[in-house]
Amino acid sequence: MSVLSGKKILLGISGGIAAYKTASLVRLFIKAGAHVQVIMTPASKDFVTPLTLSTLSKNPVYSTFYNEDDDNEQWNNHVELGLWADLMLIAPATANTLSKMVNGNCDNLLIATYLSAKCPVYFAPAMDLDMYKHPSTIASFQTLKQFGNTIIPAESGELASGLSGEGRMAEPENIISFLENDLERQLPLKGKRILITAGPTYESIDPVRFIGNYSSGKMGFDIAESASKLGATVILISGPTHLNSQNSSINLIRVTSAQEMYDACQTHFKEVDVAICAAAVADYKPKTIASQKIKKSDSEFSIELEKTKDILVSLGQMKKNQFLIGFALETENEIENAKLKIQKKNLDLIVLNSLQDKGAGFATPTNKITFITKDFVVEPMPLKLKTEVADDIMNKVISHYEKNS
């Protein structure tokens, strides 16, 4: 999955012949899973039509502060557009537009939005080779870099003038690669390997029956997606669940029983930096598994159970430099029981769920958790979507590495 997936991208197009390439650029952004909003200078519409870009981006295209043909039209709010974006790209960035960006010459909607933007700004210059090498253009590059903007260097090749040399706007595929590489480099968990367990385990009674629980696995899968978006390489060990992941940076390992999950965790724990055990692992399993379906006969039936291996305890014993996070689902004496688990299992952090809290626990899209650190610092959190809870958990991981960097 591209790091651009889900990103809100503001594409500013100025009036150069390279504007024709922006149709392909918008298409590639959409293919990567980004949301695209296009702003054009009036001059750029001589090279590519707003209708083309609107169709490809699935959004209206803006080029003026208001529609002069409609007396009732509302103004196009440049501040709102600037605040909406996760990143802004100006491509092509002509010498004229670069000069306006440097000097704050705010005579069109694109420059007004640029001056209002709070997000990272990238620009891809496009002009003839003598213009590209002119001292005023080089000065614009240097000033914009001082502003914190990032240049996507022009490429060499045949130019509109018929000359050949540097100044050709980077090809759309190369712009996408540049942005992906630059964003990945800045991700806070880039290079980290994270092990996550999710879902229930099923402990067989006979070929058709099992002991299990109501866990859907959603919390663990959401944590895995959040970790991946932050740059981590994820090993997701999941018990039986209907959930799936198409994310190429998530290695999904399917297991069924507590023993299989234990074995998978033992195999991979040594190679990871973080382990987050969100699975609802069965505490007990049948001592013997019937080879044939057990027939209904007596009015009473009993199964002898034995304890499963405690995955968290084993990882706590193996732990060296790993940051180890456990989950606790409690129904009474929640804080006290969670603190005991921290000590017993050598955890760095525990995520406490209480079934007394409405909207928490299994088979819901929401969760209400309390963080408890190994120093027994207790931090209750409000009810949130599980996707938001996953982000909160990953923020704890980021904070851990920031403190220890």
Q: pLDDT of 46-64, one tens digit each?
A: 999 999 999 999 999 998 8
Give the whole-angstrom CA distance, residue 335 versus residue 337. 6
- Per-residue pLDDT for 232 more than 80? yes
Buried b (16+ CB within 10 A) or exposed e, 343-357: eebbbbbbbbbbeeb
Give the whole-angstrom CA distance, residue 256 versus residue 232. 25
- Per-residue pLDDT for 163 more than 80? no
Q: Output the pLDDT for position 363.
A: 67
- Per-residue pLDDT for 226 more than 60? yes
For the segment 284-295, the average pLDDT, to the nearest whole number, is 91
- Per-residue pLDDT for 98 more than 70? yes
Buried b (16+ CB within 10 A) or exposed e, 138-155: eebbeebeeeebbbbebe
pLDDT digits (tens, 9 = 90+) for 16-46: 999 999 999 999 999 999 999 999 999 999 9
Q: Output the pLDDT for position 329.
A: 84
pLDDT digits (tens, 9 = 90+) for 290-341: 999 988 877 788 899 999 999 999 999 999 999 999 999 887 888 999 999 9
Percentage, residues of the chain above pLDDT 70: 96
Q: Which residue has the tokens 């790209």?
A: 89
Q: Output the pLDDT for position 165.
A: 83
Q: Output the pLDDT for position 75.
A: 65
Q: How far is CA 331 from the centre of its chain?
A: 32
Question: Where does the pLDDT of residue 216 fall: very low under 50, low under 70, confident under 90, or very high at 90 and above?
Answer: very high
Q: Output the pLDDT for position 73.
A: 60
pLDDT digits (tens, 9 = 90+) for 176-192: 999 999 999 999 999 99
Residue type, 361: G
Residue type, 346: N
- Do 137 and 131 form a contact (C-beta atoms < 8 A)? yes
- Per-residue pLDDT for 66 more than 80? no
Q: Mind listing the domains of the chain with CATH numbers?
A: 8-186 (3.40.50.1950), 193-289+300-403 (3.40.50.10300)
Q: Output the pLDDT for position 276.
A: 98
Can 72 be counted among the known catalytic residues? no
For the segment 274-289, the average pLDDT, to the nearest whole number, is 95
Q: Output the pLDDT for position 240.
A: 97
Task: Give the contacts of 68 (CB within 8 A, at least 6 positions apart).
Answer: none
Q: Output the pLDDT for position 158.
A: 83
Percentage, residues of the chain above pLDDT 90: 79
| Mean predicted lDDT score pLDDT of the chain | 92
Which residues are bridge partners to 325 per DSSP? 276, 349
Q: Output the pLDDT for position 53.
A: 97
Question: Where does the pLDDT of residue 171 fall: very low under 50, low under 70, confident under 90, or very high at 90 and above?
Answer: very high
pTM recorded for the entire structure: 0.80
Q: Output the pLDDT for position 230.
A: 93
Q: Output the pLDDT for position 294.
A: 86
- Per-residue pLDDT for 70 more than 60? no
Q: Output the pLDDT for position 77.
A: 74
Give the whole-angstrom CA distance, residue 148 versus residue 165. 27
Q: How far is CA 170 from CA 91, 92, 124, 304, 357, in A?
A: 9, 9, 7, 69, 54
- Per-residue pLDDT for 72 more than 60? no
Q: Output the pLDDT for position 74.
A: 60
3-state secondary structure the chain: CCCCCCCEEEEEECCCHHHHHHHHHHHHHHHCCCEEEEEECHHHHHCCCHHHHHHHHCCCCECCCCCCCCCCCCCCCHHHHHHHCCEEEEEEECHHHHHHHHHCCCCCHHHHHHHHCCCCEEEEECCCHHHHHCHHHHHHHHHHHHCCCEECCCEEEECCCCCEEEEECCCHHHHHHHHHHHHHHHCCCCCCEEEEEECECCEEEECCEEECCCCCCHHHHHHHHHHHHCCCEEEEEECCCCCCCCCCCEEEEECCCHHHHHHHHHHHHHHCCEEEECCECCCEEECCCCCCCCCCCCCCCCCCEEECCCHHHHHHHHCCCCEEEEEEEECCCHHHHHHHHHHHHCCCEEEEEECCCCCCCCCCCEECEEEEECCCCEEECCCEEHHHHHHHHHHHHHHHHHHCC
Exactly one of 59, 213, 337, 346 is catalytic; name it.
213
